[in-house]
Amino acid sequence: MAEQLIELNVTGMHCNNCALSVHKLLEKRGLHNILVDFASEEVKFSNDNEADLPGIIKDIEGLGYKVVDDPALQITPFYEKVENKFLFCAILTAPLLLHMILPWHFLHLPLVQMLLCLPVFIVGCLHFGKSAINSIKGGVPNMDVLIFVGSSAAFIYSLIGTIENLGEQYQFYETCATIITLVLLGNVFEKRSVTQTTSAVKDLVKIQQVNANRVVNGGIEVISARDVRPGDTLLVNQGDKIPVDGEVLSGNASVDEAMLTGESIPVEKEKYDKVIGGTIVQNGNIRMIATKVGSNTVLAQIIELMKKAQAAKPPVQKLGDKVAAVFVPAVILISLITFIITFFAVHTSLQVALMNAIAVLVISCPCAMGLATPTAVMVGLGRAAKNGILIKGGDTIEAVSNTKFVVFDKTGTITTGKFRIYDIKTEGEASIEQIRGVIVAIEERSNHPIAKSLVNELLPFQQTKLILKSAKEEKGLGMRAEDVDGNHYFLGSGKAKDDSDFNLSLYKNQKLIAQIAIDDEIRPEAITLIKQLKKMNIVPVLLSGDKMNRCLKVARQIGIDDVHGEKLPDEKLQVIDIYKQKGKTIMIGDGINDAPALTKADVGVSMNDASQVAMQSARVILLNTDLQSVIKFLQISRHTLITIKQNLFWAFAYNIIAIPVAALGFLNPMVGAFTMAFSDVVVIGNSLRLKRKKID
């Protein structure tokens, strides 16, 4: 039976350890291609037996998480919302803390303190206890184990003191309640911040959720974009979003495609033009035929790419995962050792030994380590997407960090792919006007991009036109034609010996009558881009299948010193290989012939107007055809990696300092809980800074 890719929406995961316990459970069940992303609440895996699915869902829910159909439609009961749990606990914890300041005698009574603490402890047991026990069952103890053990120890110790009437030094109800309340506060911040970091994908999903006006028997019916089928005729009016990908049947419109390309100027659309779902009609209205719907639309593919990108872990994160997996058992061990040494070796009182042990449990925070990478990667990917740069994988960001070489294809990448005539040299009696007429007449019959460019350029100057009887294209050579008077023409490549700039020749009855110098236009931003790359100590390289002298001419104009011309696709691979041995190499290309080299490079970058094959081979797609996106991509990647390193430094440093301080008894468990909650907030806050940070 064929394997199916199953996608589940799982709510209730709030840190990396949660994701790890789900991952381990699915591994134990022998499933493949497992991806668990706690931030976007998605679990994916390949399953070859559909009958197993209810059992898998039951096991995931057995860990304390919930499998839902659509998180957007999921209504969380009032008492399950983490914000409401925090408010409830805060109201009861406040008087417990105030008894230290206020002179009200009744607040000091052990029974009153126990009655105030008990509801908070029950909420804590339900919130952290369930998750802690399930994570131990799953074989990956999570951070809730530490909170649960710490708060339970404080509560049970105080309860024994109250029952035995052992006096004030046994009252630690406020410690128990404060730990639970502060960690819940941390969870509230964390939930809000994670929602912000995953906003890029959610914004894109919202764009998909629109209605469409379907034309049926002359009338209009309003349906959801999800119900549009290929071949449907749709009416899109001014101000509407185009519901799916398609082609214009009639009408004219200015369409804002900034969402995809980052290009602020609206694009004019008329009959036969392609339109993309999610873009907005700013002016005019059109009738269109739906060609791609559902998961085949450009927008759906972008969303899929973004989700895959968030799930692909950079090597830096794998390190964080490994540490987080062994972290909780290690902390419990340190806590036990702290208790044993303080009580038996140093001979302090039971309460001091217990408080030190609890402080160790509460201060440690594997969550900050687990959040360090995914939050930064998500914000980085989101910022790149808003700039029209699609990155297929968080690991791509790391691969780009120390780039040494950027290798460019020439045609369609450094140049626009549109050709211009620079010079026409006549041979014999024919005038320039006659030559132009012959070129237009012949090239009008060709579909070649060069032919189209020449016709567009010469049509405005055309005064005479030749009437042809026949014309046919000879692959790789040019066009042969015959006019009504029986003259034979050939227009194609073939240089005159004396001047290499003339790269097209026109023959009439096998006699040379003109030479034409054509070349494709260099993108206006190419020179600036090359200068910026050199400033960043990155070596630009030109690699093309085009003639060497033309490659050198382009390279001279834009300032590239390393040039490789006349290379076939397999030779391009060899060149990329040589550069890869010297350092990290990015390849930027757009044609089918670039696909192998794009795959071979450390990171392949493809232009949006590239061939489908090139786009599939690349790990980065520039939706905006402006080459400046390359610099933006390098800058965003660099700053995302800086943010990850800052986050990991903070998370490790915090734990390295905090645990010994707590073990030595210099830290009260309440202060521990407070700083632990805020270590998460610092890490997430640092990641969110990337949204608006100057990255020039």
Q: Could you list the active site residues?
A: 409
Phi and psi for 502 in degrees, rounded to 5? -85, 110
Asked if 542 contacts 551 with a C-beta cutoff of 8 angstroms, the reply is yes
Cα–Cα dist 544/589, whole Å: 10
Reduced to 3 states, what is the DSSP secondary structure of residue 97?
Answer: helix
Cα–Cα dist 384/43, whole Å: 24
344 DSSP 8-state letter: I
Reduced to 3 states, what is the DSSP secondary structure of residue 683?
Answer: helix
The residue behind tokens 């960690």 is 183
By DSSP bridging, strand 267-269 and strand 245-256 are antiparallel
**Alpha helices of 296-401 — where are they, by DSSP H?**
298-311, 315-340, 350-363, 366-386, 394-400
Phi and psi for 42 in degrees, rounded to 5? -120, 140
Cα–Cα dist 278/163, whole Å: 66
Cα–Cα dist 102/567, whole Å: 83
Helix (H) or strand (E) run with residue 408 in it: strand 403-408
Angstrom CA distances, 57 to 13, 22, 41, 131, stand at 15, 11, 14, 16
Angstrom CA distances, 573 to 296, 580, 594, 595, 652, stand at 31, 10, 9, 10, 41
Query: How many CB atoms neighbour CB 304 within 10 A?
Result: 13
Asked if 335 contacts 659 with a C-beta cutoff of 8 angstroms, the reply is no
The residue behind tokens 């381990």 is 24
Cα–Cα dist 137/139, whole Å: 5
Cα–Cα dist 595/615, whole Å: 8
Reduced to 3 states, what is the DSSP secondary structure of residue 216?
Answer: strand
CB-based contacts of 434, cutoff 8 Å, min separation 6: 464
Phi and psi for 199 in degrees, rounded to 5? -65, -30
Query: How many CB atoms neighbour CB 7 within 10 A?
Result: 10
